[in-house]
Amino acid sequence: MPDNGNENQNQIHTTNNGYGRALFGRKVIYTDESEITASNVVAVIQDAFMTHLINRNDISYLYDYYKGNQPILERIKEIRPEICNKVVVNLAYDIVDFKVSYLLGSPFSYVSDKEKINSVNILNDYMRQVNKEAQDREIIEWNHICGTAYRHIQALDPKGIGDGDVPYEMVTLDPRNTFIIYSSTYKKTRLAGVTYTVSETNGQITHFVIYTKKKIFSFDIEKKEEREVTKAFREKNNPLGEIPIFEYPANNARLGAFEVVLPLLDAYNRISSNDVDGVEQQIQSFLKFMNCDLDADALENLKRWGAIKIKSIDGAPADVDTVKTDYSYDGANITKNDIYRNIMLICGMPITGNGKSLSANNGAILLSNGWSQAEAKARASEVMFKGSERLMLNLVLKICKENGKNEIKLRSTDIDCKSPRTNYENMQVKAQVLCEMLNTPRVHPKLAFESCGLFSDPANAYLISEEHYKETLETWAIKSTPDEDGVNGDGGEEKDKV
């Protein structure tokens, strides 16, 4: 069942034509079993593993592609094979790096209403201690590379936890060695979380750990000759009562950020390689000799001195010239630019460096350059991330409660996860909307902050602004109240009332 885990990491996945293959997202693993127990766990894992291997191969291919190990490196050129440049323009890395950096311009943090601020601050402090910021970046990277990612939460022994200590551990799992098994019913319930490792000393042994809500199973599968043997089977109760492995899908199809444009990326590499070939072939053009004979010594002198003396045959005019190929760089650049724009458009990437100024109509230029699409894609990714994050928080809060961390009095529904990206799109329009809504008595100010789109955390912005407004009113009240001498609080004399 399991592979030996020792596949060549430098292998390039190509089709028969030598180019990269098209991928169509990761497959979701289902089972018809209503519950995974000791009696059926091995059989369920064996069935699920076949689908997982397909996903694993795709993930490995996409990860290699992201690192620059792309099909163009196996390019074969039949005509003038000595000039065969293999140029990798790694737009896949650029797409992933931009999306991760844009989505995590500032780290994710938890916010709540005013009454829950102290508990949320403690929770945020716990997350900093387990280095969640770096793990979030790793999750989002895998998420955009291969369409899915996994996080594992493990409770620590309460006996070794002191005041201020985090009662849980958080680990980002490799999606090549992890998968979730879902129920095939319409509810798509999570039935088990599976992770496995391959023995470093003996690549024929694979160690599996399977978490269900009730049990934790573990066993080894050893490959002996042509058969597989299950050994060291262990079973114990799951003290958490929850599956501690959580999937973070990028979208319902589990598509990576650049996966849908793989053929365009390969075409861009081929045109770039042909461009370099064209330049080199122009410089190293063949020589054409008309009506003259040259021996080896004459050719050697030509290479050495850069000049040649020729003699015509039978009085016919003799000449030496180069065989030139007409390669249209302008046409190639038009094609490259068209492919590049399509890649950026499909992936929701901004197109920079086109020489346009942002002075005339800032909103229109941002829209035409793709920044609005980038923000829309980031919001969609944030929605998917929050869905998985809420499931994870349910377990984290349960661990904190059971391990005596009663100072965190929260439910997952009390918490919102925010990524405070700075969005300067149409700032003036948004500010005008906020002012108009605040000046409308029938609209609650909190709705104005939430609807204007000016703040990444409108709830917190509303609380800060409300406190500032109250302080300002108190200051004005003090200044406008006359003292015993009939003088205003600001030092001026009280005016006569009409």
Per-position DSSP letters for 41-63, written without gaps between them: HHHHHHHHHHHHHHHHHHHHHHH
438 part of a folded domain = yes
214-224 mean pLDDT: 89
Q: What is the pLDDT of residues 290-305, one digit of tens each?
A: 667 666 776 676 666 6
Whether the CB-CB separation of 95 and 258 falls below 8 Å is answered with yes
Domain final residue, candidates 259, 281, 314 = 259
Residues 181 and 307 in one domain: no
Residues 101 and 37 in one domain: yes
492 part of a folded domain = no
Whether the CB-CB separation of 95 and 349 falls below 8 Å is answered with yes
Distance, first Cα to last Cα, the chain: 95
Domain span at residue 333 reads 261-355
Per-residue pLDDT band for 82 (boundaries 50, 70, 90) equals confident
| Closest to 193 in 3D by CA, of 240, 146, 229 | 240
Residues 177 and 268 in one domain: no
Residues 240 and 275 in one domain: no
361 part of a folded domain = no
Residues 88 and 198 in one domain: yes
Whether the CB-CB separation of 340 and 353 falls below 8 Å is answered with no
pTM (predicted TM-score): 0.77
pLDDT value of position 196: 94
232-255 mean pLDDT: 93
112 part of a folded domain = yes
pLDDT value of position 144: 95
Residues 208 and 270 in one domain: no
Alpha helices in 68-210 (DSSP H): 91-103, 117-129, 132-146
274 part of a folded domain = yes
Residues 266 and 253 in one domain: no
Residues 229 and 326 in one domain: no
Residue 354's alpha-carbon distances to 260, 357, 369, 372, in angstroms, are 24, 9, 9, 17
Q: What is the pLDDT of residues 22-44, one digit of tens each?
A: 688 999 999 999 999 999 999 99
Domain final residue, candidates 300, 324, 355 = 355
Helix/strand number for the chain, H first, E second: 12, 13
Q: Which residues of 251-289 are buried (b: 16+ CB within 10 A; e: fewer)?
A: beebbbbbbbbbebbbbbbbbbbbbebbeebeeeeeeee
134 part of a folded domain = yes
Q: What is the pLDDT of residues 383-439, one digit of tens each?
A: 899 889 999 999 998 998 887 666 677 777 778 787 766 555 567 788 888 898 888
97-104 mean pLDDT: 89
446 part of a folded domain = yes
Q: Is the pLDDT of residue 488 over 70?
A: no
Q: Is the pLDDT of residue 236 over 60?
A: yes
Domain final residue, candidates 212, 241, 259 = 259
Whether the CB-CB separation of 374 and 351 falls below 8 Å is answered with no
Residues 216 and 290 in one domain: no
Residues 46 and 168 in one domain: yes
Instruction: Tally the C-alpha atoms within 13 A of residue 401's C-alpha that lie toward its C-beta.
Output: 11
User: Whole-number mean pLDDT of the chain?
Assistant: 80
Lowest-confidence range among 32-41, 262-271, 478-487?
Answer: 478-487
Number of domains composing the chain: 3
Q: Is the pLDDT of residue 272 over 90?
A: no
Q: Is the pLDDT of residue 355 over 60?
A: no
Q: What percent of the chain has pLDDT over 70?
A: 74
pLDDT value of position 285: 63
Residues 241 and 301 in one domain: no
241-259 mean pLDDT: 94
Residue 51 falls in which region: left (phi positive, over 0), alpha (psi -120 to 50) or beta? alpha
Residues 248 and 123 in one domain: yes
470 part of a folded domain = yes
Q: Is the pLDDT of residue 18 over 50?
A: no
